[in-house]
Chain A
């Protein structure tokens, strides 16, 4: 018997694959578009969501029996808002440049559908430990997709990864640029993020046909 029981382990594993918040539940698409042009921003965003959703799920789960159901959305918003402000302040204090790139999108974690979705769907009905695992699992599933999308967008759009020029210098014409390769400007535009997410969904459903909905 490992660290987690089979049921608990599924809470982490499922969102990474067959119940992924972005590709299967199709939540949190807005931030997948907005901050995936650079890998660094995507990683920071993933970590921020991991923090907010992990802690938030525990807090909501602890309060689940005392929150009046009529005002539960407001209570949830306050919890997310408090956590997001913490993330925002930490970023401003320790990674100011990055917080400028992420700008408004850190604040918009509040409206990230995944967070409210997990509060509603899971934390309100489960204990703190399981809620914590669910939060970690879902934010990891979210982060994985974000990082995959950002990897391709930054690599093909700017020829860099985490700001390092991996394909050579486009102005000095070194590396692959010497052969006439050029960066794909379309990759840096938001529609391409949707298309990359779409391709991931396509591959995932081709590999596991049980995910395909009947019409």
Chain B
């Protein structure tokens, strides 16, 4: 008797047990279950929910690994132990084991806490509600460590994950029913609950906060800091990084969001596997470009003075907005979330365009919330069903008209 059959028999034998959903979750994650449906016609396809989720996770792995290197790099750079890399993606200064290990030991706990707490809640809810464990957290669990600052305390992350999964998803009925993207709900919670750990010039570089506390305790050390480019621009200061640095990702920021080139790679992978919607990605970039161009025009036409607090971000070239901050990451991995985005093709264009448009709008006009893309996606998540409704209604009307013309 094979293992497959044994596991199946084990399931049949224990089918009334409360913990069975937890068992089947692990079972179906590791094996193809030995079960068939008994009624109706089914289309068989290889891309079930778990396969879909795993594809997205694969697309994010380069960002995660780069994030680990970058965390160490920013740490050592701020301490003045290494030289800044210039221009080249394969710079020897960056890809050192030393850099990787610093980031690895900082980011691995984030991943473990995110998955541990999130899946724990999924299991508890599955057992209470008596249904199968849903796969929804697989992607969220990987997104969360990528969109937080590297030095975020683990207990804060745990609290936020509990909040995000319970209030953002489970109360609406679980995976597939949520209105807001759970990963962004978690980030928004952290952002509003613990702003000192989510913004400013200390949290993006590992060790900066500890160093501050040591200085406050009276030790004779130099403070280290690493402002994000958005933060620098919002204060109207000169940006110290080259365009190549921004594009390749050698800049401070949340763990996985810095390297636009790797995000682009992940995005192409998602488009190629038909998991992510190219319509949303493209229209979101379009929206950001349009808003950026409008602001550039306003700034260069002299409508606002260069002493205005909006000038720094407004005069930043429109293409720069695409490669700094979390815009690229949010557009590729979070705006395209199939549950919370618009479902209709026309709706996707509108939805994506507004995500990009509003991201840049928030960035420029609210320096207190430099990460406009988070708020823009959450806002558009709320409106996605409305957009779909009008697209569908428009289609119904158009077709009705056609029928009437024919019959008349």
Which A residues are within 8 Å of any B CB, using their own CB? 180-182, 184-187, 189, 195, 198, 202
Q: How far is the CB of A38 from chain B (nearest CB, A)?
A: 18
Tell me if A202 and B192 are in contact (CB < 8 A).
no
Tell me if B192 and A182 are in contact (CB < 8 A).
no
List 23 A-B residue pairs with CB atoms under 8 Å apart, sorted by A's residue number: A180-B153, A180-B155, A181-B155, A182-B156, A182-B194, A182-B196, A182-B197, A184-B159, A184-B193, A184-B194, A185-B192, A185-B193, A185-B194, A185-B195, A186-B189, A186-B192, A186-B193, A187-B193, A189-B192, A195-B167, A198-B167, A198-B171, A202-B171
When C-beta atoms are compared, the residue in chain B nearest to A191 turns out to be B192
Interface of B, secondary structure class, is: helix
**Interfacial residues of chain B within 137-156, with CB under 8 A of chain A in the complex:** 153, 155-156
**Interfacial residues of chain B within 188-217, with CB under 8 A of chain A in the complex:** 189, 192-197
Q: How far is the CB of B279 from chain A (nearest CB, A)?
A: 31
What residues of chain B lie closer than 8 Å to A184, measured between beta carbons? 159, 193-194
Please measure, in the bound complex, the distance between the C-alpha atom of A195 and the C-alpha atom of B155, giving whole angstroms.
21
What residues of chain B lie closer than 8 Å to A185, measured between beta carbons? 192-195
Q: How far is the CB of B149 from chain A (nearest CB, A)?
A: 14
| Interface size in chain B (residues, C-beta < 8 A) | 13
Closest 8 CB pairs of A and B: A186-B193, A186-B192, A184-B193, A185-B193, A182-B194, A185-B195, A180-B153, A195-B167
What residues of chain B lie closer than 8 Å to A186, measured between beta carbons? 189, 192-193
Please measure, in the bound complex, the distance between the C-alpha atom of A180 and the C-alpha atom of B196, giving whole angstroms.
13
What residues of chain A lie closer than 8 Å to B196, measured between beta carbons? 182
Having A182-B156, A187-B193, one finds 18 other A-B pairs with CB under 8 Å, namely A180-B153, A180-B155, A181-B155, A182-B196, A182-B197, A184-B159, A184-B193, A184-B194, A185-B192, A185-B193, A185-B194, A185-B195, A186-B189, A186-B192, A186-B193, A189-B192, A195-B167, A202-B171
What residues of chain A lie closer than 8 Å to B189, measured between beta carbons? 186
**Interfacial residues of chain B within 110-152, with CB under 8 A of chain A in the complex:** none
What residues of chain A lie closer than 8 Å to B193, measured between beta carbons? 184-187
Please measure, in the bound complex, the distance between the C-alpha atom of A187 and the C-alpha atom of B163, giving whole angstroms.
12
Please measure, in the bound complex, the distance between the C-alpha atom of A65 and the C-alpha atom of B245, giving whole angstroms.
80
Please measure, in the bound complex, the distance between the C-alpha atom of A198 and the C-alpha atom of B167, giving whole angstroms.
9
Please measure, in the bound complex, the distance between the C-alpha atom of A187 and the C-alpha atom of B156, giving whole angstroms.
14
What residues of chain A lie closer than 8 Å to B194, measured between beta carbons? 182, 184-185
Q: How far is the CB of A183 from chain B (nearest CB, A)?
A: 9
When C-beta atoms are compared, the residue in chain B nearest to A182 turns out to be B194
Please measure, in the bound complex, the distance between the C-alpha atom of A186 and the C-alpha atom of B189, giving whole angstroms.
7
Please measure, in the bound complex, the distance between the C-alpha atom of A209 and the C-alpha atom of B14, giving whole angstroms.
29
Please measure, in the bound complex, the distance between the C-alpha atom of A97 and the C-alpha atom of B372, giving whole angstroms.
38
Q: How far is the CB of A121 from chain B (nearest CB, A)?
A: 30
Q: How far is the CB of A159 from chain B (nearest CB, A)?
A: 13
**Interfacial residues of chain B within 21-74, with CB under 8 A of chain A in the complex:** none
Q: How far is the CB of B356 from chain A (nearest CB, A)?
A: 25
What residues of chain B lie closer than 8 Å to A198, measured between beta carbons? 167, 171
What residues of chain B lie closer than 8 Å to A189, measured between beta carbons? 192
What residues of chain A lie closer than 8 Å to B156, measured between beta carbons? 182
When C-beta atoms are compared, the residue in chain A nearest to B195 turns out to be A185
What residues of chain A lie closer than 8 Å to B197, measured between beta carbons? 182
Please measure, in the bound complex, the distance between the C-alpha atom of A189 and the C-alpha atom of B195, giving whole angstroms.
13
Q: How far is the CB of A170 from chain B (nearest CB, A)?
A: 11
Please measure, in the bound complex, the distance between the C-alpha atom of A125 and the C-alpha atom of B307, giving whole angstroms.
65
Q: How far is the CB of A200 from chain B (nearest CB, A)?
A: 13
Q: How far is the CB of B270 from chain A (nearest CB, A)?
A: 32
Please measure, in the bound complex, the distance between the C-alpha atom of A83 and the C-alpha atom of B48, giving whole angstroms.
64
What residues of chain B lie closer than 8 Å to A202, measured between beta carbons? 171
Q: How far is the CB of B19 from chain A (nearest CB, A)?
A: 21
Please measure, in the bound complex, the distance between the C-alpha atom of A181 and the C-alpha atom of B156, giving whole angstroms.
9
Q: How far is the CB of B193 from chain A (nearest CB, A)?
A: 4
Please measure, in the bound complex, the distance between the C-alpha atom of A58 and the C-alpha atom of B153, giving whole angstroms.
55
Please measure, in the bound complex, the distance between the C-alpha atom of A185 and the C-alpha atom of B193, giving whole angstroms.
4
Residue of B155, B189, B192, B195 most packed against chain A (CB within 10 A): B192
